[in-house]
Structure 1
């Protein structure tokens, strides 16, 4: 075999070997997206909370409202159960995650109300509310839309809103959408994939 042939075969072997390996660090689907940013809101205990309070931690961020009759409780149940699965399977990863529920209905969702709602699904989920101006700003930063629906005869109302669960990295940059609509197993699997 000539020196050229041997070099060619060795090079081809190296290339084919590289094709067969999988890159364990895939590029996050939301990398580089303009989602998120600074915020100042109010936690369930009444204290002021900013995005900097979560620096260094991954953040699961969900927008909804406590009077939601169906979608929000279903998503929150999946998030809470997914966090519990992650705690059992990968406790070190779970310890790096903060979960935030941010209301889109600040008129009814007081600090006490968001605290109770979030705690229903997991003691790890932090309920956040704020003034209408604060909520509008954080919704804009996260690309969230909501609109108050028509009032019912009893004075209640629904709030139409977008439905997504963001995973943000420890620097507050977007990584991926968490598929809460697919249940707790999908939430846990997604967190296991992206939390390092």
Structure 2
């Protein structure tokens, strides 16, 4: 006797569904959870690697990614923060959708050492494109206020003596990136170790996409309202024209009737 195993008709559909969901996710068809909104990015005016004054307003309308570095850093900056930002720059430049919509910013936490010329040389060592990646520096007080009260990532500066050398400056700076949307709101403050360059760029794409979608939505809504007003005007005009024509015709009939009556009275008088 042969034993036949009946296949469930549900299994193929489950397989198709799983594959479809995977494709939709890969193509952005399934909406991801919106990035949180923390607080507004701080207003500042600092100096860039070319000696130009740069303000928060210069980044208005763009999504920007910020990290905090200093050129004398022996480990985290050259090994983690700078290579990751360089990779982000590479990915951004390869995506035409992000052209002109993204800004990368590295803020120095060591203003005594990191002059604009020093920052410029440091940026070149990591292939920084000055049109996309800006290096900024302020005074010591501006830097402390910016990190502690503005971006709220904290900053600790201290000095220690090494046994075999003169005084050594040690700066415990934040190893976080800060993601800011086009409206100037902070949308992410993750530790660098929690995010890859690819993940940062994907979040930037989402924020850029939302900005474009929002703009199109506003224009579309405005267009629909104008069209609706036009339809109402046309409808009002159509109602007024026939109604006005009917009234004129009715008025003409009354005049004709009045003329006939007058003619009859005239005939009676002549008789």
TM range (shorter): 0.7 to 0.9
1:183–1:119 distance in 2 versus 1, CA, 3 Å: farther
The residue matched to 1:69 in structure 2 has which SS?
coil
Out of 142, 146, 165, the residue aligned to residue 155 of structure 2 is 146
Distance 1:171 1:188 in 2: 18
SS at match of 1:72: helix
- Segments of structure 2 that go 5 or more residues without pairing to the other structure are 1-20, 210-271
TM-score (norm 2): 0.58
* Residues 1:126 and 2:131 aligned together: no
Matched residues in 2 for 1:172 and 1:154: separation? Answer: 43
> Hey, what's the Cα distance between the residues in 1 that align with 2:32 and 2:202?
15
Matched residue, 2:74: 69
Q: Which has the higher strand share?
A: 1
Aligned to 2:55: 50
Q: Are 1:175 and 2:184 counterparts?
A: no
Q: Flag the structure with more relative contact order, 1 or 2, with Cα contacts below 8 A and sequence separation at least 6.
A: 1
- 1:80 maps to which residue? 86
Runs of at least 5 residues in structure 1 that lack an aligned partner in the other structure: 1-19
C-alpha displacement of 1:180: 4.0
Tell me the TM-score normalised to structure 1 length.
Answer: 0.77
Q: Which structure has greater helix proportion?
A: 2
Where 2:73 maps in the other structure, the secondary structure is: coil
Shift, 1:35, TM fit: 4.9
For 1:64-117, what per-residue CA distance to the aligned partner results, in whole angstroms no more than 9, with x for missing partners?
2111111122212111112212322x2222431111100111111111112222
